[in-house]
Amino acid sequence: MRSIQAILEDFISEFNPHHLVKLLIIIGGYIFFRQRFMDFMKQKQIKNQLAADEETKKQNLIERPEDYMNSTGVEASEGGWGWGKNTRRKVKKQQQLFEEEIEKSALRAQNNSGYDSDDDIKELLID
């Protein structure tokens, strides 16, 4: 096995400006084309992602067309004048859904025989 010093001396003795230019062209070309390739791949990924999003929107439109009906009258004007009214409607809808879920869970808790009722606990405390 040759020593590092011998390898370095061979490299220096064989090295000439022509090798330096070739090395610079190879490294510079790699850096240049890598940047171009990365930009191209970013653009391609964005286009693919937009196409996939568009396809998802079309699929959702087919599955639930009532969500995408053209609104007329007051609904159309609410969307056009800013986000305030639209957001308030969404919040009201969320509150209604939340209240319905609370009521459902309360009914489930009452009907569920797995939980001890207050009367059962009082009977156990008296005994």
Same domain, 65 and 93: no
Residue 89 to residue 53: CA distance in whole angstroms: 26
> How would you write 114-126 as a 3-class SS string?
CCCCHHHHHHHHH
The domain in which residue 114 lies consists of 82-127
Q: Is residue 75 part of a domain?
A: no
Task: Return the pLDDT at 34.
Answer: 96
Mean per-residue pLDDT of the chain? 80
Q: Is residue 76 part of a domain?
A: no
Question: What total of structural domains would you count in the chain?
Answer: 2
Can you read off the two tokens belonging to residue 127?
């005994």
Same domain, 56 and 9: yes
Q: Is residue 74 part of a domain?
A: no
% of the chain exceeding 70 in pLDDT: 76
86 burial (CB, 10 Å; 0-12 / 13-18 / 19+) is middle
Q: Is residue 77 part of a domain?
A: no
Confidence of residue 44 (pLDDT cuts 50, 70, 90): very high
79 and 86 Cβ atoms separated by less than 8 Å:
yes
